[in-house]
Amino acid sequence: MSQELFKKMAQSILDGDDEVSAELAQKALNEGIDPLAAITDGFMPGVNEVGDNFACGDAFLPELVMAGEAMKAAIAVLEPAMMASGVSRQVLGTVVLATVEGDIHEIGKTLVGTMLTSSGFKVYDLGVDVPTADLIAKAEEVGADIIGLSALLTTTMIKQKEVIDEVAKRGLKVMVMVGGAPVTKEWVQRIEADGYSEDAIGAVSVAKELMGL
Ligand code: B1M
């Protein structure tokens, strides 16, 4: 039953149809499907397929843009339910979150922010294409425990290292957690990040670990 729905969800992303993706997201909620499962098992396979098609020249930038819009429309419907499912109301820690400078991919970063918020973290989401200096300034202003950095491009991952180097240079007591599709464990070790997760659910566990919880 939900497999059928998941297939339609993936197809709505491939079609870049934000009306259908939003309708299917609502249908999932009506049927009591876990919103995160709808994203990971339904919509994500579609977005990954568009990405693969783009990489091998079978899809072009407009398809990528439309897939992104369809994904965002679905998440907008699912997000309130993800927020409401959070159990903890105690503030577990403060996170300054962003997609690094030069990178405008926002969907994964926003999902991580939603999961952290619904799990009890106070999240300052600075958006996309955020310069290192702005991240550091915000982290200092709000006394952040963690800076969370998303990067989706091999060309922008280096900005994660730039932030870590700046934190070290200034002797700041803030941990840095990184993620994003091109980020690997090897990269994380190389840049000496404090935490890494390959998905949004894992990001919550890693953030809790960093807080000693
Ligand atoms: Co772009 N894009 N894109 N794109 N895009 C990729 C990333 C790409 C892999 C596609 C491909 O070629 N296969 C490729 C990168 C290649 C590379 O560097 N190796 C690529 C490219 C090349 C580009 C452009 C350069 C294209 C161009 O202009 N010629 C351009 C770059 C613009 C820029 O940033 N300067 C570009 C633009 C775009 C759009 C704007 C059109 C659109 C984004 C729309 C938006 O965000 N509003 C877009 C999209 C949609 C994609 C793909 C198809 C999907 C990304 C996505 O939203 N995934 C992507 C291919 C792919 O990833 N398969 C691709 C869904 C999202 C939920 O997953 O973001 O991975 P993700 O987040 C996951 C995890 O990674 C993790 O948790 C999330 C949830 O599970 N995670 C974290 C993410 N951040 C985390 C942080 C954490 C922890 C975990 O801690 C802090």
pLDDT(96) > 90: yes
Task: Specify the pLDDT at position 82.
Answer: 84
Which of 152, 197, 199, 201 has most ligand 1 atoms within 8 Å of its beta carbon, as the pocket-test mutant?
A: 152
Q: Is the pLDDT reported for residue 202 higher than 80?
A: yes
The answer to whether the CB of 36 is under 6 A from ligand 1 is: no
pLDDT value at 17 more than 60? yes
- pLDDT tens digits for range 28-60: 999 999 998 999 999 999 998 999 999 999 999
Is residue 89 pLDDT above 60, yes or no? no
| C-alpha 153 to ligand 1 mean position (Å) | 7
With 70 as the cut, is the pLDDT of residue 86 above it?
no
Which of 41, 54, 104, 105 best tests ligand 1's pocket when mutated (most atoms within 8 Å of CB)? 105
Quick one: average pLDDT of 107-122? 88
Share of the chain above pLDDT 70, in %: 97
Three-class SS of residue 29?
A: helix
Q: In what order do the strands lie in the sheet with 195-196?
A: 121-125, 93-99, 146-150, 175-179, 195-196
In this predicted structure, the answer to whether residue 94 has a pLDDT above a threshold of 70 is yes
> CB-based burial of residue 155 (10 Å sphere; 0-12 exposed, 13-18 middle, 19+ buried)?
exposed
Best mutation site among 64, 126, 199 for ligand 1 pocket (most ligand atoms within 8 Å of CB): 64
Ligand 1 close to Cβ of residue 46 (< 6 A): no
